[in-house]
Amino acid sequence: MIEGLVDLLVVFVLAMFIGFEVITKVPPTLHTPLMSGSNAISGVTILGAMVVAGRGDTRVATIVGLVAVIFAMINVVGGFMVTDRMLHMFKAKPEEQK
């Protein structure tokens, strides 16, 4: 069972590497959208929240799950939408756009 932990650790480490490689390529211009965008991704915990809320164990658990879903969803939707809004403001010189 500790092994299982190590297997997950492998995934974690690899993902970390990808994160570093990819993010270091993002130019300063886009750091604010990057912040809010990656922030939205961290709302991925919604996947866990849904299970908890739908598993119907104890009432307490379900309530906890419900709150978790709400919070995570705010994070996801809010994050992606606000990032989208921001990014739509970035425009190249007209002649470039054509």
Partner 1 sequence: MEAILKLVYLAAAVCFIFGLKRLSHPRTAVSGNQLAAVGMLAAIIATAFDRQILGYQWIIIGIIVGASIGAIVARTVKMTAMPEMVALLNGFGGAASALVASAEYIRYMTLGETPPVNVTVTIQLSVLIGTVTFSGSLVAFGKLREIVTGTAVTYPLQKTLNAILFAGTIGLVIWLSMEFPLPYVILILAGVGLLLGVLSVIPIGGADMPVVIALLNSYSGLAASMTGFVINNHGLIISGALVGASGLILTAIMCKAMNRSLANVLFGAFGAGAETGSSVIVAGQKIEQPIKQITADDAAMLMAYGKQVVIVPGYGLAVAQAQHEVREMAELLEKRGVTVKYGIHPVAGRMPGHMNVLLAEANVPYDELYDMDDINPDFEQTDVALVIGANDVVNPAARSNPESPLYGMPIMDVDKARSCIVMKRSMRPGFAGVENELFYATVTSMLFGDAKDSLKQLISEIKEL
* Residue 98 makes contact with partner 1 by CB under 8 A: no
Q: Which of 68, 67, 11 is nearest to 44 (CA)?
A: 68
* Residue 90 makes contact with partner 1 by CB under 8 A: yes
* Residue 17 makes contact with a second copy by CB under 8 A: yes
Cβ proximity to a second copy, 20 vs 90, nearer residue: 20
- For residue 78 the two structure tokens come to 């809010």
Of residues 44 through 63, those in contact with partner 1 by CB under 8 A are 44-58, 60-62
- Judge contact between 76 and 45, C-beta under 8 A: no
* Residue 11 makes contact with partner 1 by CB under 8 A: yes
* Residue 81 makes contact with partner 1 by CB under 8 A: yes
- Judge contact between 34 and 26, C-beta under 8 A: yes
* Residue 23 makes contact with a second copy by CB under 8 A: no
For the stretch 2-28, what's the b/e string if a residue is b when 16 or more beta carbons lie within 10 angstroms of its beta carbon?
eeeeeeeeeeeeeeeeeeeeeeeeeee
Select from 1, 2, 5, 10 the one that contacts a second copy (CB under 8 A).
10
Binding site for a second copy (CB under 8 A): 7, 10-11, 14-15, 17-18, 21-22
